[in-house]
């Protein structure tokens, strides 16, 4: 829900230029928790589509619109001109569960930049966030990260595991199928597992079923494989140089060898595991630093481990 369309006509840097600029426009109306107002919600959706190319209709049509997805927005009349959205997740971190806030759909319409609106939105949302959540995080790019650091956030390096892929597997293994999320039965499998899943990791695992389903509907539609015998969904992206496993969604986490039959059908010799792999018992070749985006966290996050936030939380 943040920077969903990489071809959007505005960059994150441009959207956040107003963090250090002129005083806030006096006649703007700042609103939050307003999604029960149909007109205001429609204005927010128009803002999201204009800035990010994001259409919420598919998510809504599946009955997944979530009241916990909370916007702090600036309105000029009936037009939403800037927003910071907060979406909570239950986080398993080192075996303990807590509630964290993710910032999403952060932006300002071009003609309203340079007025300090984003800083005002952050000031208005921060007290509520601090009262509700244990930590705050977001994903951004390298340029915009500096703006968040000036607001008190910290840049956190991430590292993922790389293993060798056993290609051309010929031994019998659990059969799998590619799910078609346009088919009700296939989507029902995904929805059930999204709500009933175990954490993918005890080191760092996220639980936000509706955000996960958002990712499946919009980003993972073509990468979703189901192993019926294991009742497990595996998200696998194929690139020229490697396959990237974004998530494993199961009530009972499999081991690495349980996935060899599926992953071995891809010809790439390396597997990139885009989440913490402590529950898979991997024989890792190496660790590589995440470079797709930049993780920004509130100062409460403390870790000296080389870990990664799951790819499926990177909406």
Q: What are residue 40's phi and psi, to 5 degrees?
A: -65, -40
- Alpha-carbon gap, residue 221 to 242, rounded angstroms: 19
pLDDT at 252: 95
Question: Which tens digits make up the pLDDT trace of 120-176?
Answer: 999 999 999 999 999 999 999 888 898 889 889 999 999 999 999 987 665 566 689
Average pLDDT of span 195-200: 95
Average predicted confidence (pLDDT) for the chain: 89
Q: Is the pLDDT of residue 18 over 70?
A: no
Q: What is the pLDDT at residue 302? A: 84
146 contact partners, CB below 8 Å, separation of at least 6? none
CB atoms within 10 A of CB 53: 14
SS3 assignment, position 17: helix
Taking the C-alpha atoms of 191, 213, 293 and 83 in order, what is their torsion angle to the nearest 10 degrees? -150
d(CA 297, CA 304): 14
Output DSSP code: residue 305.
S
pLDDT above 50 for 7: no
Whole-angstrom distance, CA of residue 307 vs CA of residue 100: 17
Please indicate whether residue 220 or residue 23 has the higher confidence score (pLDDT).
220
| Confidence grade of residue 114 (pLDDT, cut at 50, 70, 90) | confident
What is the pLDDT confidence band of residue 257, given thresholds at 50, 70 and 90?
confident
Pairing of strands 96-108, 224-227: unpaired
pTM of the entire predicted model: 0.88
Task: Please count the CA atoms within 13 angstroms of the CA of 43 that sit on its side-chain side.
Answer: 22
| CA-based end-to-end distance of the chain | 5
Phi, then psi, of 39 in degrees rounded to 5? -70, -40
Please report the pLDDT score of residue 8 as a whole number.
38
Average pLDDT over residues 35-61: 95
**Residue ranges of domains in the chain, CATH in brackets:** 12-157 (3.40.630.30), 160-289 (3.40.630)
23: DSSP letter? P
Q: How far apart are CA 143 and CA 148, in angstroms?
A: 10
């Amino acid at each position: 829900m943040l920077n969903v369309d990489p071809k959007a006509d505005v960059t994150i840097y441009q959207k956040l230029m107003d963090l250090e600029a002129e005083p806030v426009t006096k006649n703007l109306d700042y609103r939050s928790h307003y999604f029960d107002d149909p007109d205001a919600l429609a204005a927010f959706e128009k803002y999201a589509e204009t800035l990010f190319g994001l259409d919420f209709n598919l998510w809504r049509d599946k009955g997944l619109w979530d009241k916990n997805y909370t916007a702090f927005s600036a309105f000029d009349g009936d037009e939403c001109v800037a927003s910071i959205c907060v979406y909570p997740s239950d986080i398993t971190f080192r075996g303990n569960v807590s509630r964290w806030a993710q910032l999403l759909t952060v932006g300002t319409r071009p003609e309203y930049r340079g007025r300090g609106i984003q800083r005002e939105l952050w000031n208005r949302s921060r007290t509520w966030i601090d009262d509700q959540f244990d930590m705050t995080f977001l994903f951004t790019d390298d340029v915009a990260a500096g703006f968040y650091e000036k607001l008190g956030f910290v840049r956190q390096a991430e590292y993922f595991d790389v293993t060798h892929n056993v290609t051309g597997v010929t031994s019998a293994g659990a059969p799998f199928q590619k799910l078609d999320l346009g088919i009700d039965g296939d989507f029902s499998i995904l929805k059930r597992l999204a709500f009933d899943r175990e954490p993918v990791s005890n080191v760092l695992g996220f639980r936000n079923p509706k955000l996960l389903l958002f990712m499946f509907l919009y980003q993972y539609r073509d990468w979703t494989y189901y192993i019926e015998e294991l009742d497990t969904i595996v998200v696998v992206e194929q690139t020229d140089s490697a396959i990237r496993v974004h998530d494993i969604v199961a009530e009972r986490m499999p081991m690495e060898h349980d996935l060899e039959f599926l992953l071995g059908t891809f010809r790439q010799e390396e597997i990139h595991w885009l989440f913490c792999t402590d529950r898979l018992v991997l024989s890792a070749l190496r660790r590589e630093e995440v470079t797709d985006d930049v993780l920004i966290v509130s100062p409460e996050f403390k870790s000296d481990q080389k870990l990664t936030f799951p790819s499926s939380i990177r909406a």
